[in-house]
Structure formats: C-alpha cells, structure tokens
Structure 1
Amino acid sequence: MSDDARDIRLARAYLLAVAEPPSPALAALVDDCGPVEAACRVRCGEVPDAVARETAARSGIEVTGADLASAAKSGARLIIPEDEEWPGWPLLSLRVADGRGVAGMTSPIALWGRGAARLDAVFERAVTVVGSRAASGYGEHIAGEWAYALAQGGVTVLSGAAYGIDGVAHRGALAAGGVSAAVLGCGLDAGYPAGHQTLLRRIAERGIVLSEYPNATPPARHRFLVRNRLLAALSAGTVVVEADRRSGARNTASTATALGKAVMAVPGPLTSRTSSGCHEMIRAGTATLVISADDVLEHIGRLGADLASPAERPQRGTDGLSGDALRVHEALQPRAGRPVEWIATESGVPAAKARAVLCALELDGLSQRCESGWRRGAGRGRRDTG
C-alpha cells in the first residue's frame, strides 16, 4: 500500500470516528477537499460551523495505523470509497436523495466490515428482508423459505441481524448455501445481539457484516434508525415480511421509498398486529403485495429475465364447456337419472339438440346413461361414486 493510500485510509477512519453518522456537513467537507485535508482541518478546528457542531465532541480522538492493525486482528477491515470493491452503484441512491434535500440520506464516509467477501460482488444482486422482532410462526416461515429460495437464485439476502424476521432470513440464506449480509447499528465488536454472535460469524464466513461505527461503539436506538438507510440503499429492494404500524421495518421501507427502491410487503392475517403495518403499506400503495419469492425476484431482478411464472389455476373437467353444452350439463342431476325431455325443459335446449349434447358429454365422462335416463358423470378418469 502506498503512503498516499495509507493516509487516505487513516483519514477516513478518523473521520468515521470523529462524528456520529450520517454527519452531512462533514461528508460535504470531504467531498469538497478530500479526506486527508478534511481530517487535517477537523483536527485544527478550521472548519465551518456546521462541521464543528458535528465533530467538536470527538475532534481530539486519534486514529493510527496501530488502530487499524488492531482492528484487523479482530477480523475487521475498513472499506473506503477509494477501494475497487466499494459499492458505489447501490450507494448512489443516497447521493441522489441527499442532493434532492432528503434529510438523513448522506452516503457513508467509510464502512467497517468483517468477512472476506467483496462488497461490489455481494451487493451486485441483493434484496433486503426485514420485519418484526416479535415475529409470528407464519412470518418466520415466510422469511426463512423466501430467503432460502432467493439465495438459491444467487441473490444476497441483506438484513439487520436482529431477533425475529432478520435472524430467520439470514439463516434461510445460509441454509441454502448462499450469501447473506448484515448491517449493524453498533461496532462490530459490540457483541449485539448477544444471541446472534454465532450467526454473525457464519454470515461473515460467506458474506459480510458491516457497520459505520468503530469498534467499542455500543448499540443505541438512533444508531439503528441511521443504519436503516444502508439496509435500504445497498439492495435493489426491501421486503417487509411482518411489521407493526410503527416499527424499524416500516422505517427501512420508508427510506427505501425515498431512495426510489422497490418496496414489497407480505400480507398476513387481518387480525395479526404484526401484519398491520404491511397491510397499511399495501392499502396506501407504498408497497407492492408479494406472495412468493418469485414475485420478489421479479421486482428486484433483471428486466425481462427474472419474471415470475403465472400461478397455475385449478383445472375442472367442465372448463371447456360453454353454451348449450354447459346448460345441459348443469341440468343433469348427480345421482338421479332424468329423461331427455326433462333435461331439455330444465336447460332450455331443444330435445334433439340436448340428446346430441348428452352423447358428446358422455365421451368425456361428463354424462352417464342409466335406467331412468341421463345423470351427471364424474369426468374422464374418475371413479363413479353414484
């Protein structure tokens, strides 16, 4: 690594530590003068008032090469926009939204990651799956099955590693031998959630675990809300499996909408509180109703290449009947036979025509001769139970 590249990496590590994300004023300064110069100005206090407000509390922090080496020993690495693997295309949505004046949509200055997978490869084809922590059995089934199917189709399943829907989605993708990715609202070494440490290690083995926050940063509610913009931005679309009317999953979906990403919601029981947020989004038209992993793939997939197959409709033996044939068939009784004249009167089809139709229906097993006339048949290939 050249001295210039090392200086840029150290500068971005410092800038990531010195301000609480998303720090729009600091990000604008970096865009204006570059990370090395921006870091120098922050240390010297020679910054605009907006940047000073974001950095004053931590401007005395020092980040050295030894800090990066220590992070590397714990399995963490700093990924910066100057790296070839930086996911610039999906994160472009943040820059566009920020340019339109949408609050809180600043692109990250850098990202801490655990896992050897390249970010550009991981997020080339990805979908975010989120939902309630207090998930129902129905929600967990949908999240796990769909994540499994999406991963089998080569799609990265991205989520927040929380209990409930998030964790099930990660496990579903890993069970399929696919790639999963997680974005945390704390440092990579925070040990949160405590019950998902093994899961996070498994995610890192095949995919990547990301955070904007340096090691030792504890979890906090506002950090999860800030994190949600990355969950929305890094994928082609967000699927909400279960969500209350006010929830982190709804926040991620709203962010995805602001970024121009696809937003999908899974319908659930009308009496289920954990599906009320999904129903509200579908009713308001802010989310597309999806009922299968194929539906999700169609919405986030390649144009014209990932189309969902039409659902198969149940077939009936009478599907091909119309006009006189349908009227005659409906006049037949399932058990009791009736003479042709009775059938003609009941159906309104002349007797001669009705007789010809009955013979044609008999060929398909839809009518049967009996001692008292004609009765309804069970259809070709089905046993007569009359």
Structure 2
Amino acid sequence: MSAVPRHPDPGGLPGPARGRDDHTAALPGPAPGLPGPEVLARVFLSRVLEPGDVTGGRWVRELGAVDTARRLREGTPPLPGVSDRRWAGLCARAARADPERDLAAAREAGVRFVCPGGGEWPAQLDDLADARPTGLWVRGRPSLRMWALRSVSLVGARACTEYGAHMAGTLAAGLAERGWVVVSGGAYGVDGAAHRGTLAGGGATVAVLACGVDRPYPRGHTGLITRIAQQGLVIGELPPGDHPTPNRFIVRNRVIAALTRGTVVVEAALRSGSLVTARAAQRLGRHTMGVPGPATSARSAGVHELLRGGATLVTDAAEVVELVGDIGELAPDRRGPVLPRDLLEPEARQILAALPARGAPSAADIARDARTTPDDAVARLYELRALGYVERHGDGWKLTRQAMISGRADPDAC
C-alpha cells in the first residue's frame, strides 16, 4: 500500500482518459498522446542547458522555449550573453539532443516530464526566476504540486554521526505523523535517514536527484530510491540516463529549497553542501531551521553558524511545524517537572524555605526568617507536618527526609 501524506487529496496523477494539457508528457500508461511543441522544446532544453543556467533561463523568458530551442538547433546567430566557445559547446549538445527519444526512454522507465504552467507544476519553483528548471522529470504516481504544498526539506551531512542520523529519522517520522511531506536529496547520511524515517512512519517523501531519475545515485541507495519511487516521488531536472557531477549536486539544492516551505539542517560542517540549501531557502524567503549539536563537533559547526546568522533552532517535529505550519499548529510549552512543593500555597513555601537543612529552630526563629508572625508560622508548620514536610522536635521544627529529597530534585530551581 502506497504511503501518502496525511492531508486531504494527495493528488494522484490523472490518467489519459481524464485529459491533460500540453504541459505534461510521458505519462505512464497506454496511449500517452503526442506532446506539444512546448513540451518537446523544454525536453530538448533539459538535455542542452545545465540546471540552474540563468543565461539560458533568460533566453526562455524573453524568447520562449520553442524559439530558444530553434535558435540552438540552427546555431546562428548566437544568442546574447555567452562566449563563442560556450555557444559552440551548446550547439554541439543541441545537435545530439533528441527529445522524442528522451520521452520514449522516460515512458519506458515510468517517468513523466512536467513543465512550468502545467497542472502538476509547483508554482513556488517560479520564485527561482531565471534559474527555474526548464521542466522536471518525475517518477512516482502522486501529484508533485499537491505534495509540495505541505512539505519540508530535511538535509545535512553525508558523513553524519549516529546523533545526526537519529535526529533526522526522528524528525522525519514526526513530520510524517503530522501529515507533512519530507523532501531530501537521496544521498548517504542525513538524507537517507530522513527518507527512511518518513517511510517508517508511513508518510510521504520526495527525493530530488542530481542525475536522471531512472538511474538512482548513489548506487548504494538503489533500493531506497526505488522504494521512494514506489511509495512517493523521485524528481530531477536531468533527462533519462544523465549522470551526476559535483556542480549538479550544488545547483540541485536550490530546487529542494524552493520546493518546500522550509529547510531543516540536521548536521553540517562549515563547508557542507546542505548549507547551500539553507542559504538558498533564506534568499527565497523560506523558513530556515537548524538542529544544534555538541559545541565540540565539527559536523555541527555549520549548523551553529547558520543559527548565529538568524536561522531558527528546532529540536523536534512539533517545533518545525509551529514555524512552517498554519495558524494554531503550536508546539507544546517546554516546562520542567512539577515538584510536590510547587503545589503548596506561597505562604507555606515561604515557611518551608525558612527551615535550614540542619538543626531544629523554634517557631519564633522560623517566623523571623520567613518575615511573618509566630502564630502564622505555627499554623503553617502544622500544615506542613500534615503533608509530611516537617516534624516537631521538642520546641523546634526540622525538615523531614521527604522534604530534603524533594528539595534536591531540582537543584537549578533556586
């Protein structure tokens, strides 16, 4: 049974019989139909332009995807903003691009292509402006747009500690229980722990890859990414069969940041790629959160710098939801344990506080230290004796063992 987010209408994909516009292509299933020129142009551009190419994004915004693709195919005249060398490289890639072949490969792998403006396109990705993806390759049945409406990204170190893996899994499971979709990058470490924690909690998760969604990376996560595709969504900007590069991992992070309402960084060193995601979220006006770690841990140093720079400190899913959720989704108040002496009336607590740890002072001495009258002190002392806090020794009074133990239960309260 597929995991879905616990909120209304998880948004299963419409089948061909229910209709669709030209902004969705390569839907799994029979008779997918012919894609329109806009889809073909954007599939072509996903093969030619690198993800996050703002110059190419400006071309698409100013000329349109169809005309930009045509100019790249023809090769002349060059489009503005690039050197002759780079233009020649783009034209060489354009000569090898075959959008129909890419769509056929995607259909064979159960992958669809989603374009900006289509019914499944998450509008928040438009905040990336000219760095917006030309389109997204999506593997999995649910609607990306619907799932992204209530989503949080959870990222962190690949070489995380046991603490980092535990916190990522616990946070993810807690978010899943509250009906939130957890988005991460499918990598080792915190990413993998976040995906596994979500799936273990019966929730919904999305993996954003820096390669073609038909070839899971890293290889060691093939089983996990396959499971995510079966129960959730695997998405990416690169066409089928394309491979990851270091730069593609970095630019992929902007999609994770833009797609979600907020980003939580669990563990990160000072040069961690997950900080790129967090800073992108800050630039986009998304909530940015960090989970603190030991002050001596190099793997938490980046998170601590993020917190010093204005990110919000969170320690559990309730605190995350309080920040990114709707009005009224508040985390519970954090309080220490309630001690029996906390339930005493203020006058009785004042008398109890006046008794020393050793010795048996008289009621008059206790009254003086408590700044009250002897008669009031005697009345309160008998009340405290009935409750087991004090006992009488001749003309004096002393604390019982129960009072001594309860007084030590919270040594920081004084």
Global fold match (TM > 0.5): yes
Following the alignment from structure 1 to structure 2, what is the Cα–Cα distance between the partners of residues 233 and 111?
A: 13
Following the alignment from structure 2 to structure 1, what is the Cα–Cα distance between the partners of residues 294 and 190?
A: 16
Across the aligned residues of Structure 1 and Structure 2, the Cα RMSD in angstroms comes to 2.3
Following the alignment from structure 1 to structure 2, what is the Cα–Cα distance between the partners of residues 330 and 5?
A: 81
The residue aligned with 2:271 is 246
The residue aligned with 1:103 is none
Q: What are the equivalent positions in structure 2 for 1:72-83 lying under 5 Å apart?
A: 72-83=107-118
Following the alignment from structure 1 to structure 2, what is the Cα–Cα distance between the partners of residues 267 and 172?
A: 19
The residue aligned with 2:173 is 148
Following the alignment from structure 1 to structure 2, what is the Cα–Cα distance between the partners of residues 348 and 152?
A: 53
**Is the 1:125–1:155 contact (alpha carbons within 8 Å) kept by the matching residues of 2?**
yes
Cα offset for 1:190?
Answer: 3.6
**Is the 1:183–1:211 contact (alpha carbons within 8 Å) kept by the matching residues of 2?**
yes
Deviations, residues 235-265 of structure 1 (Å, cap 9, x unaligned): 0000000111111011111111111110000
Deviations, residues 280-302 of structure 1 (Å, cap 9, x unaligned): 111232x1111211010111111
What secondary structure does 1:229 align onto? helix
Following the alignment from structure 1 to structure 2, what is the Cα–Cα distance between the partners of residues 316 and 33?
A: 70
**Is the 2:355–2:361 contact (alpha carbons within 8 Å) kept by the matching residues of 1?**
yes
Deviations, residues 302-326 of structure 1 (Å, cap 9, x unaligned): 1x13111212332122325576533
Name the structure, 1 or 2, with higher relative contact order (CA <8 Å, separation 6+).
Answer: 2
Aligned with 2:59 (options 10, 25, 29) = 29
Decide whether aligned partners of structure 1 residues 373 and 32 sit closer, same or farther in structure 2, where only a CA change above 3 A counts. Answer: same
The alignment status of 1:14 with 2:48, answered yes or no, reads no
Aligned with 2:98 (options 54, 57, 63) = 63
Deviations, residues 154-201 of structure 1 (Å, cap 9, x unaligned): 111000111100000000001111110011112223441011011101
Aligned with 2:316 (options 272, 292, 295) = 292
Amino acid aligned to 1:299? L
**Is the 1:324–1:349 contact (alpha carbons within 8 Å) kept by the matching residues of 2?**
no
Amino acid aligned to 2:321? L
Q: Which runs of 5+ in 2 are unaligned?
A: 1-19, 23-32, 407-414
Q: Which runs of 5+ in 1 are unaligned?
A: 99-105
Aligned with 1:94 (options 108, 120, 128) = 128
Cα offset for 1:44?
Answer: 1.0
| Alignment: residue pair count | 368
Q: Compare 3-12 and 155-164 and name the one that shifted more.
A: 3-12
Following the alignment from structure 2 to structure 1, what is the Cα–Cα distance between the partners of residues 300 and 319?
A: 19
**Is the 1:85–1:120 contact (alpha carbons within 8 Å) kept by the matching residues of 2?**
yes
**Is the 2:153–2:262 contact (alpha carbons within 8 Å) kept by the matching residues of 1?**
yes
The residue aligned with 1:214 is 239
Deviations, residues 38-79 of structure 1 (Å, cap 9, x unaligned): 211221124423267362341212314243122211222211
Cα offset for 1:209?
Answer: 0.8
Decide whether aligned partners of structure 1 residues 62 and 348 sit closer, same or farther in structure 2, where only a CA change above 3 A counts. Answer: closer
What secondary structure does 1:158 align onto? strand
Aligned with 2:257 (options 222, 232, 235) = 232
What secondary structure does 1:59 align onto? helix
Amino acid aligned to 1:69? A
Amino acid aligned to 1:330? A
**Is the 2:174–2:316 contact (alpha carbons within 8 Å) kept by the matching residues of 1?**
no
**Is the 2:186–2:192 contact (alpha carbons within 8 Å) kept by the matching residues of 1?**
yes
Cα offset for 1:22?
Answer: 1.5
Cα offset for 1:371?
Answer: 4.9
Amino acid aligned to 2:80? D
